[in-house]
Amino acid sequence: MSDRPSGARDELSARADAIEEAYEFFLAYASQGLPTESSGGQVRQFLAKFEAAITNLAAFFIGYIAVLGVDPTPYRSFIDVIDRDATSALAAVHLVQAQPSINSQLVDNLNANIHVRALLTDLFLIDEALKAHVS
């Protein structure tokens, strides 16, 4: 993580973009109704991007808040929520990655996973809350 607010904001944007891009790919992949893995391994590439973006997400936010110079007190409990949701979403991603073939239904179930959806909304909420502290 960068020790400059702009660098930390860039990392947050990169993580959020990777998560959203993967989620959108998963939606499109799921809608295809494929009985076996297709897309030339793209689904696995997007799973890997998603995994990288959500790994150590709570630690990232702790560092980001410190770089911004924001009082971490009101954020601590919510970062714990992000950590739980990210850990649970990561477990779901690992389960999908471990399958010999990733069909559309499996990806559709990943998209519908409450932890994945909760993580997305967690990120939208904290991102919006922290925008007030970015100059």
Sign, CA dihedral 51-56-61-64, equals negative
Q: Residue ranges per domain, the chain?
A: 5-131
Class of domain 5-131: mainly alpha
What digits encode the pLDDT tens for the residues 10-60? 898 899 999 999 999 999 999 998 888 875 689 999 999 999 999 999 999
* Global pTM value: 0.88
Looking at residue 7, what is its pLDDT?
Answer: 81
Average pLDDT over the chain, rounded to whole? 91
List CB contacts of 11: < 8 A, sequence separation 6 or more. 1, 2, 60, 64
pLDDT band, very low/low/confident/very high, at 101 (cuts 50, 70, 90): very high
Q: What are phi and psi of 92, to 5 degrees?
A: -65, -40
Segment among 32-41, 59-68, 99-108, 112-121 with least mean pLDDT: 32-41
- Residues 86, 57 contacting (CB under 8 angstroms): yes
